[in-house]
Amino acid sequence: MANLLRHDPLDDLFRGFFVRPVEFAQTPDAPSITLDVKEGPESFTVHAELPGMKKDDIHVHIDGAIVSISAERKGEKEIKDGEKVLRTERYFGKVSRSFQLGTDIDDARAMAKFNDGVLELTLPKKATTQARRLTIN
């Protein structure tokens, strides 16, 4: 004998909605900055992929333990006579990414290099001050 199960489509809809977080697919025309972050004893090393960007169009901002990377690629409008654009998939515009590290960064000693579309940041950790106990007189 076959077992009969009751199926309510609305129940499945709401169960899936509340159990899983809602995900938004990234559109292909809005790229993000992909990162690798490594921690050493004295510094963090960050590799950020920024293909097609120029060094002068990349900006890095450090505020305590928060690092922000932004870049802008300007569009090229060169169209020759008799030529028409059939499809454009290259992205022109701004991209940015911020992330927080475990400790504050010594921004005076931080270094950045840009080579072959990869931004390399060396972010030295700020020397931590030891907490001390005050003697009450």
- Which amino acid, residue 50? L
Point out which residues pair with 114 in neighbouring strands: 119
| pLDDT number for residue 27 | 47
| pLDDT number for residue 128 | 73
Strands 111-115 and 118-124: antiparallel
| pLDDT number for residue 81 | 73
Cα 24 versus chain centre, distance: 16
The secondary element (H helix, E strand) that includes residue 15 is helix 9-19
| pLDDT number for residue 89 | 73
Give 10-residue mean pLDDT values along the chain (137 residues).
Answer: 59 52 47 89 94 91 93 78 74 87 91 95 86 79
Interatomic CA distance for residues 8 and 19, integer angstroms:
17
The residue length of the chain stands at: 137
| pLDDT number for residue 123 | 95
| pLDDT number for residue 19 | 47
What is residue 111's DSSP assignment? E
Domain boundaries, the chain: 31-75+91-127
According to CATH, what is the number of the domain 31-75+91-127? Answer: 2.60.40.790
Residue 40 tokens read as 């050493």
Interatomic CA distance for residues 100 and 98, integer angstroms:
7
